Amino acid sequence: VTGPRVAVLSGGVGGARFLHGLCAELPARDVTAVVNVGDDFEPYGLHVSPDLDTVLYTLSGLIDDERGWGVAGDSARALEQARRLGDEAWFWLGDVDLGLHLARAALLRSGAPLSSATATLARRLALELRLLPATDDPLRTYVGTDAGELDFQTYFVRRGQRDAVRGVRLDGVATARPAPGVLDALGSADLIVIAPSNPLISIGPILAVPGIRSAVAARRAATVAVSPIVGGRALKGPAAAMLRSLGHEVSPVGVARLYADVCATLVLDEVDDGHAAAVEALGVRAVVTQTVMTGHGGRRRLARAVLEAGGLRCPVAAGP
């Protein structure tokens, strides 16, 4: 017997935490995550896929919960040695994390596309959900700044998000194809969720893969998005600053404008209750609830609220 199938569009930290709650509320085998790869890059000759890795580590329990990424308690002896030997090594990869990257590198070198390498790693980490990159093709986010155009990790890590973002360019997007399984998962899901992830650099690159945005739009009535903007701020990362510098309203209304063609429902936080009417004026149903995922209970509570908003669970049936 299979329950309702849910497909989730996800970035890193916000998406992974939501997925963690969802997989506690539903059998994880009925959940498919479609994950951003725009942040991927190749330091040290290794394929790093930060958002996929954050999902892998969050759902396997290896995650450093405080930071939201990387492996808890990881050391950096390999990188320290690289620095002693003259490499700048500005992209942090812990020793244990490096182990995952060596395993991924071997899979990719044997000819596996990113999607099957990801499925293998997920299986070896005993994850039951289906974890798919949005695309197997190279799709890389670049941001336009006053210091010139920067690849995503140079902007995000090396320069610590200090540059105002004037534009976003998705290199390779025109010829990227949805990874195997993505369109099927979107077409057959009982519910599609747009996780509380950065709309511009996490969800944007997923929807921009030719065929994905229209596949979600075709299921608009069954799609629920969660606002990552709470009380005019992002809980983590550059989403608020980026929305502002690119001319979007930093509120659930700005988020609803970006998603109005793909979702019929937006879940927004209680503190943003005052924005509900403006969201609905855009033709998007507003569901107001607590959306801050404090602890595992908070993740599960948000997952339940989203399932309920999507009509998959009635309020009285909600578990503890």
Per-position x/- string for 142-171, each x denoting binding to ligand GDP as judged by CB under 6 A, each - no binding: ------------------------------
Does residue 15 belong to the site contacting ligand GDP (CB under 6 A)? yes
Among Ca ion, ligand GDP, none, the one that 21 touches (CB under a kind-dependent 5 to 8 A) is: none
Angle at which helices 114-124 and 50-60 pack, to 10 degrees?
20
Q: How far apart are CA 14 and CA 26, in angstroms?
A: 18
Please provide the distance, in angstroms rounded to a whole number, between the alpha carbons at the two ends of the chain: 23
Does residue 9 belong to the site contacting ligand GDP (CB under 6 A)? no
Question: Edge-to-edge strands of the sheet including 167-171?
Answer: 148-151, 140-145, 167-171
Does residue 133 belong to the site contacting ligand GDP (CB under 6 A)? no
**Residue selected from 30, 51, 136, 269 as contacting Ca ion according to rule CB under 5 A:** 51
Burial 158-168 (b: 16+ CB within 10 A, else e): eeeeebbbeeb
Residues 179-198 that bind ligand GDP (CB under 6 A): 196-198
**Residue selected from 11, 70, 94, 205 as contacting ligand GDP according to rule CB under 6 A:** 11
Q: Which is nearer to Ca ion, 51 or 163 (CB)?
A: 51
Residues 12-31 that bind Ca ion (CB under 5 A): 12
Instruction: Report whether 288 contacts 272 (CB < 8 A).
Output: yes
User: H-helix or E-strand containing 149?
Assistant: strand 148-151
**Residue selected from 6, 7, 13, 194 as contacting ligand GDP according to rule CB under 6 A:** 13
Q: How far apart are CA 191 and CA 35, in angstroms?
A: 16
Q: Which is nearer to ligand GDP, 224 or 235 (CB)?
A: 235
User: Binding residues for ligand GDP, per CB under 6 A?
Assistant: 11-15, 17, 51, 54, 196-198, 202, 226-228, 230, 234-237, 239, 291-293
